[in-house]
Structure 1
């Protein structure tokens, strides 16, 4: 069985989810103990974790254009997942640049703990998107509003170009959705945050397809 391009993100996302919290713990130990060996370990882990987060984020942006997002809650859960991960990745870049020049500090360690808490939340959303709503699941019925549009095989000639193209479209979609949210023209769908009302059960099949959803041009592509 061939691995498809949109399956790259869930395959690599575990690296930053493991490396970034470990880097934070190493820095906390260094701050408390004053042991420079832990500070060196933390710095190297921040570099590895940030690089893996950047690659995972690129794959995630591409994947957002290779799955069906016709159900409002699924669409906005993907949006919150991507926006949160983008903030965490930018924070990791900042901390890594700091740590390349300076030893760990209490404030920087607390910032790392907060960022990892956000990453835990976005990872929870990622699980809900897949296991509760069926986003990115290949065997979903063709008439379902969620699932996948079957991107190219990961090791095909088309994959590198598709990765970069869909990552660009995914970033444009993410920023466009954020703009509409901030302006108040398109509030979050009920249940998109993963808790509270609207999480009773996902809409599937004909029920989901009858929902009134306003899509950006790039979102239409993700439904092709």
Structure 2
């Protein structure tokens, strides 16, 4: 890397690091743990509902059965509900994306500092070690979320142009495809915490609790 590139990277890091530290919860008023896990519930819930309601177009027999059981509201109400839950989910996803990028940035810079940027990426692609596995899962988690949010934004844009908020069948197919992708991405997010321990008991009060627990055992 040339000296000018290193200087540019250093300047970018000076700007990005304080923002990333807030997302990582590295401030006393943020209780010393990453804030990303606390931001995921609303977009997951709202967008999953929106995708599921849209996907009902793809399974008319199932929809008829639910209508017979009076589980679903009228079709016009479903369109409205899906549109606004999708819009609310996109808005709720803004802090989720920001805090997730903060954790990814901290993870990437930490590994790049330890291994070098190019080697860190190769280790992730090849899943050479636990750090590589963790980074690869994180990148896949982020990529799937970007795809899903892109579909949600496209559906919102298409639907808002119809006075009855109707969604074309092609977009309903996209929603049907997005739902399992979204749920799998959420599963990957859970594995980052429960399998790899990302952001768990590593800083602030959480690290103090871990140290005290280890002494008590």
Q: Separation in 2 of the partners of 1:73 and 1:30?
A: 38
> Which digits, 9 at most, give the CA deviation of each residue in 1:10-48, with x for residues without a partner?
111111111112112333457857721211111111111
Which structure 1 segments of 5+ residues have no match? 140-147, 151-224
Give 1:206-217 correspondences, 5 Å limit.
none
* Equivalent in the alignment of 1:88: 148
**Is residue 107–residue 135 contact of structure 2 (8 Å, CA) maintained in 1?**
no
* Equivalent in the alignment of 1:127: 190
Q: Separation in 2 of the partners of 1:57 and 1:6?
A: 17
* Equivalent in the alignment of 1:138: 201
1:76 to 136, 139, 142: 136
> Which digits, 9 at most, give the CA deviation of each residue in 1:141-194, with x for residues without a partner?
xxxxxxx6x7xxxxxxxxxxxxxxxxxxxxxxxxxxxxxxxxxxxxxxxxxxxx
**Is residue 51–residue 178 contact of structure 2 (8 Å, CA) maintained in 1?**
no
**Is residue 86–residue 156 contact of structure 2 (8 Å, CA) maintained in 1?**
yes
**Is residue 141–residue 188 contact of structure 2 (8 Å, CA) maintained in 1?**
yes
Using structure 2 for the length normalisation, give the TM-score: 0.57
Q: Separation in 2 of the partners of 1:136 and 1:67?
A: 10
* Equivalent in the alignment of 1:48: 88
2:77 to 37, 40, 58: 37
Shift of the 119–25 alpha-carbon distance from structure 1 to 2, 3 Å rule, reads: closer
Shift of the 122–27 alpha-carbon distance from structure 1 to 2, 3 Å rule, reads: closer
**Is residue 57–residue 86 contact of structure 1 (8 Å, CA) maintained in 2?**
no
Using structure 1 for the length normalisation, give the TM-score: 0.55
**Is residue 78–residue 129 contact of structure 1 (8 Å, CA) maintained in 2?**
yes
Q: Which has the larger radius of gyration?
A: 2
* Equivalent in the alignment of 2:173: 110
For the residue of structure 2 that corresponds to 1:66, the secondary structure is helix
* Equivalent in the alignment of 1:27: 54
1:65 aligns with 2:105: yes
**Is residue 30–residue 39 contact of structure 1 (8 Å, CA) maintained in 2?**
no
Q: Separation in 2 of the partners of 1:36 and 1:14?
A: 27
**Is residue 54–residue 89 contact of structure 1 (8 Å, CA) maintained in 2?**
no
Which structure 2 segments of 5+ residues have no match? 1-27, 64-73, 112-130, 205-217
Count how many residue pairs are aligned between Structure 1 and Structure 2: 141
Shift of the 97–6 alpha-carbon distance from structure 1 to 2, 3 Å rule, reads: farther
